[in-house]
Chain A
Amino acid sequence: MRYWKKWPINQINVDDERFPKYLKSIKTCPKKLFFRGNWNSNIFEKTIGVVGSRRITRYGRDVIAKFVPTFVGNKITIISGFMYGVDSEAHKTCVENGGKTIAVLGGGLNYIYPPENDNLYSLILENGGLVLSEYEADFKPTLWSFPQRNRIVSALSTIGILVIEAGLNSGSLITAKIAKKQGKKIFSIPGQINSSTSTGTNWLIKNYNGILVSSPDDILESSFKINATQIDLFEPDLSEIERKIIGLLKSEELSVDELSIKLNLAIADISINLSMLLMKNLIEEEAGKVYLKN
C-alpha cells in the first residue's frame, strides 16, 4: 500500500517550455501543475480523454475493453479523472495492456480518492504514466474541485474526448460541455434509450454535435489521415517500411509478392507490416491484392 509514495512529487510552472501547450491555451490555465511519474513531453502528443459515469455497467466495461487496447496499440495516451467507474476502468485497461495513461486528480497528490484505487495509482506510474493535479499535495478534494479538474482533462485531450456512459446532468456532460468550448471533438457511445447511463451519451449525439462512434476505427479514421491535404490531422505512427508500402500503394494496388519484389524484402516482413497497416485502418485487402483506404 502507498507504494506510489516512492515517486517524488515534482512541480512544473506554466512558463516552463515543457508545460503542455494545449493546456496553456485555455483561459483558466493553472499556474502550475504537481505530478508524480516521469515527465516526457511525448506523452501529451496523441491523447484521448475517456470519461463517463461513476456507475459503470457491463456495457461500459465491454466498450472500454474494445476501445482502449486499440488506442494503446496506436500509441495514444488515455487521459481520465481517476474517479471510480468509467475513469478507473479506462486507466486500468490501459495499464493492463502496457499503455501510458494520465490521471488528473481532483485533490492533492498525497490524497488518494477513491481509496480503492491505491494499487492503480502505482500501476499507472510503473507503466510510465503520470498522475497530476493542480492542487498542493495535501489538498483534500471538495465538491467543487472535481468539476474543476475536468477542464484539465479536456484541455489535455488532443484527439478529443470519448464519453463512454453518462446520465443527464452528470459530471461527464460537464466535461463534454467544457470540451466543446475548448473546441475539442466529442465522441459519444450510443446506448439503449431506456438506459439511465446512456441518456447523456445519446443526448450528446442528438443535441450537442457528439460524434457517434461504434468502433475504435471511427475515432482513428477521423483523426489520422495520410492525405497530405489534411495537415491539421494527426500523422499516423508509421515505421519506415510501412511508409514505403503506403507510398507504393498510392499509385496502384499490389499483391504481397509484388510488394516483396519492389521493396526487396522477405514475404514475412511484408506480411508483418501489412497487418500493422491493417490494424491502423490505412489499407484494405481484397482477393489477394492490397488497396489503400481512402
Chain B
Amino acid sequence: MLTKIFSVASIGLKAIDIDVEVNVAEMGFPGFGIVGLASKAVEESKERIKTAIVNSDIEFPNKKITINLAPADIPKEGSCYDLPMAIGVIASTGEVRLPSEKSYFYGELSLDGGLRHTKGVFLLAILAKEQGIKNIFVPRLCANEASVIEGIKVFPVDSLKSLIRHLNGDKLIQPLITIDKEELIFEAEPEFDFSEILGQEQAKRALEIAAAGGHNIFMMGPPGSGKTMLSRALPGILPILTEKESLEVTKIYSISGNIPPGGSLVRRRPFRSPHHTTSQIGLIGGGSNPRPGEVSLAHRGVLFLDEFPEFNRHTIEALRQPIEDGNINISRASGSVNYPAQFMLVASANPCQCGFLGDTKKECKCNVHQILNYQRKLSGPIMDRIDLHLNVPAVDINKLMILPDKNENRSAKSSDIRKKVMDAREIQTQRFKNTNNLYSNSDMKNIHLKEFANMTNEANLLLKQAVNKFSLSARAYFRLIKVSRTIADLSASEAILDKHVAEALQYRIRSESV
C-alpha cells in the first residue's frame, strides 16, 4: 500500500516541499530502503524509526518497505524526516488515520518514540503559510518557533504515541495559540550596560557614533583596557530589532539550530564573537552542504573579532565581500545558496604582540621586527573598510577609585544612548527613503556623498587641511565625510559643520610608528 506524507527540506534559507512516499509491499523479501538522495543521517533514521515504532507498542511490518523522498534530485539532509517516514510506515499498515487536510510532519525521533528538538521549524511554518497548509505537526520543543506565524495550526507533538492517538481521534493534541509578534518584540535587557563600565568615555562615544551610522569600528588597546566589555555592551545601544529584522534573524537561527528548546523569535540583536582560530568556512559559511557562518549568524547584529591580527589572513580577507554586499553567496555543485550578512564589524587588537607598546606604566618586550610584523597584519584592504579607528588606553585603577562618584554621574545608561542612536537612525531613514538600498550613513557610496553630505564651506576647508596634514587617501577622505555625517545626525544638524569634521578626525586611521 502506498502512502504519501508531506514534509519540507531547506535549501539555504528557503524551505521546499518534499513528498515522503512510503510503500509497504506484500510481496518480496522483508527489507527497508530509502531512495531520493538521502544523506547518511537520513539513512540512519531506519534504525530510529524501527525502534521508535516498536517502543510505541506498534508492530513493525515485516514486509518490503520502500521510501522515496521526492523530488529525488535534491539532496536530503538531517534527521527531520524521521517523523514523516514513521507515520508513513504506520499508516501503510492501517494503524493510523491520516488527516484529510494536507499537513506537514517534521521532526527527529528518539528511540523511545519521543520527539527531539529539530532545527528549521520556523522555515517550515513560513512555507506552510505560503502554501496554504493548515496543520503542521512538529516536536513540542521547537513548536514555539512556528507559533508566531498566523493562519496555521501548530500541533506540538511529544511522542509518536501521542501523535497516533491524536490522529485516530482518541486523545486530541491542543494546537498552540498564535503568539502576537508585536508582543514578543520588546526591549531585551542588554548583556552589559554602558553605565556599568567605568571610564573609557571616548570609546563609548565612538561606539555611539558607530551604532548611529552603522559604521564598522576598530579598537586598539592594551590587554585589560575593556575592549571586549565595550563590544559586548554594543548591542544594547543598537536600535531595537524590528519585526522584519527579527524574522530574518530567526530564520538563520532556526536553520542553524541555534534557537534553544522552547524558544521563539530572536529578540535580541545577535552578538557573535568567534575565536581567532575559526576557519574561513566557520566565519563565512559553506561546507559541502552549505551552512551559515558567523557573519550570517551576526546578521543585524554585531560581529566581534577579538585579537584581530591573530586571525588567519585568508579568513580576514574573505570578510571583504560580505562587508561590501551585506550577504554571502555560496556556490556548490549541488546549487548555490545566499545567506544575509549585514553586520557591524567590531575588531580589536593589542598594539603589539605583548600588548604594552606605548603604555606609560609597563614596558613593551617586543623587538622592532615583531612589532612591524604584528602591525603589518593590521594594514590592508580590510582596515580600509572600517570607518572608525580608536585607541583604547588602559584605565588607571587609581584614577577609577578616586573618581567613582564623578564617573557614575558621567556614564550614560545604555537605554539613554540607544534613544539618541534611534533618533539619528530616524534622520537617516528619512534621508534615504527615496533610495534603493541605503539604510544608514555607512551604506553611502561615493556618489551618494555629493547628494547627502551637505557640508559647509568651513567643514570643507578643515577637511582639505586634514587631507594634507595626515596624507589621507581618497578612501579615508570619504570615510571621514561619512562619519562626520553621522556625528551631525547625532546632534540633529542638517549640515555637516566644521566641528563635526573635527570630531570625526579623532577616529581616523592611524599609522602606528615604532
Question: Hey, which bits of chain A sit against chain B, CB under 8 A?
Answer: 66, 69-70, 72-73, 97-98, 215-217, 253, 255-258, 260-261, 267-268, 271-276, 278-279, 285-289
Contacts and interface: CB of A to CB of B under 8 A. Distances in A.
A217 B469 CA distance: 8
B357 interface: yes
Interface in B408-466: 410, 457-458, 460-462, 464-466
Interface residues of B, dominant DSSP: helix
B499 interface: yes
Contacts of B469: 70, 217, 278-279
Interface in B378-429: 391-393, 395, 399, 403, 406, 410
8 cross-chain pairs, A with B, having the tightest CB-CB distances, nearest first: A287-B358, A288-B393, A288-B391, A275-B502, A275-B505, A256-B202, A267-B205, A271-B506
A77 B465 CA distance: 16
Interface residues of B, number: 38
Interface string B190-227: 00000000011110110000000000000001000000
A93 to B, nearest CB: 10
B221 A72 contact: no
Nearest to A281: B469
Contacts of B204: 267
A253 B465 CA distance: 25
A257 B202 contact: yes
Given A72-B461, A73-B462, A279-B465, A287 B202 contact: no
A261 B406 contact: yes
Contacts of A268: 205, 487, 503
29 contacts: A66-B468, A70-B468, A70-B469, A73-B461, A73-B462, A97-B457, A97-B461, A98-B457, A98-B458, A215-B468, A253-B360, A255-B393, A257-B395, A258-B399, A260-B410, A261-B403, A267-B202, A271-B205, A271-B502, A279-B462, A279-B465, A279-B466, A285-B510, A286-B358, A287-B351, A287-B357, A288-B358, A288-B392, A288-B393
Interface of B: 199-202, 204-205, 221, 351, 357-360, 391-393, 395, 399, 403, 406, 410, 457-458, 460-462, 464-466, 468-469, 487, 499, 501-503, 505-506, 510
Nearest to B395: A257
B465 A70 contact: yes
A285 B506 CA distance: 10
Contacts of A73: 461-462, 465
B503 A271 contact: yes
Contacts, number: 87
A109 B468 CA distance: 36
A3 B350 CA distance: 61
Q: Which of B200, B487, B506 has the most CB of A within 10 A?
A: B506
B499 A272 contact: yes
Nearest to B407: A261
A272 B462 contact: no
A69 B468 contact: yes
Given A70-B468, A256-B202, A279-B462, 18 more contacts: A69-B465, A70-B465, A97-B461, A98-B457, A98-B461, A215-B468, A255-B393, A256-B201, A257-B199, A258-B399, A268-B503, A272-B503, A273-B502, A287-B351, A287-B358, A288-B221, A288-B393, A289-B360
B202 A271 contact: yes
Contacts of B202: 255-257, 260, 267, 271
A35 B488 CA distance: 41
Given A216-B468, A258-B399, A271-B202, A69 B461 contact: yes
Nearest to A267: B205
Q: Which of A255, A261, A279 has the most CB of B within 10 A?
A: A255
Contacts of B399: 258
Contact of B391 (A72, A216, A271, A287): A287
A66 B467 CA distance: 9
Contacts of A261: 403, 406, 410
Nearest to B392: A288
A267 B390 CA distance: 13
A287 B464 contact: no
B500 to A, nearest CB: 8
